Amino acid sequence: MVKTLGTERHKALIALLIEKREAAGLTQSDLAAKLGEYQSFVARLESGQRRVDVVEFLELAELLGFNPADAIQALSKHGKPS
């Protein structure tokens, strides 16, 4: 399995999550509180230091108000892992 941190798809996922959080009018601290996590958890996600698993992604989609299937379809158009 190829490492995914830092790939084009991972960068696109991070950009999507930041965009959706900002569009929802939430700070990292606001989102962390909704997730029951510390702000540093969201910071690590958004800085690319940590992967987002599928269950986390679904919860983020619900909290940030976006369709996870649409997001996956958009992300699939980005470069394939090398």
Q: How many domains does the chain have?
A: 1
Q: What CATH number corresponds to the domain at position 40?
A: 1.10.260.40
In a domain, 36, yes or no: yes
The model's pLDDT over 3-50, given as tens digits with 9 standing for 90+, comes to: 888 889 999 999 999 999 999 999 999 999 999 999 999 999 999 999
pLDDT of residue 82: 47
pLDDT of residue 28: 98
Q: What residue numbers bound the domain in which 41 lies?
A: 8-76
pLDDT of residue 4: 82
In a domain, 25, yes or no: yes
In a domain, 2, yes or no: no
9: Cβ–Cβ under 8 A, 6 or more apart, which residues? 75, 78, 79, 80, 81
Alpha helices in the chain (DSSP H): 8-23, 28-35, 39-47, 54-64, 68-76
Q: What is the mean pLDDT of residues 42-62?
A: 95
In a domain, 23, yes or no: yes
CA distance 13 to 35: 18
Name the pTM for this structure: 0.88
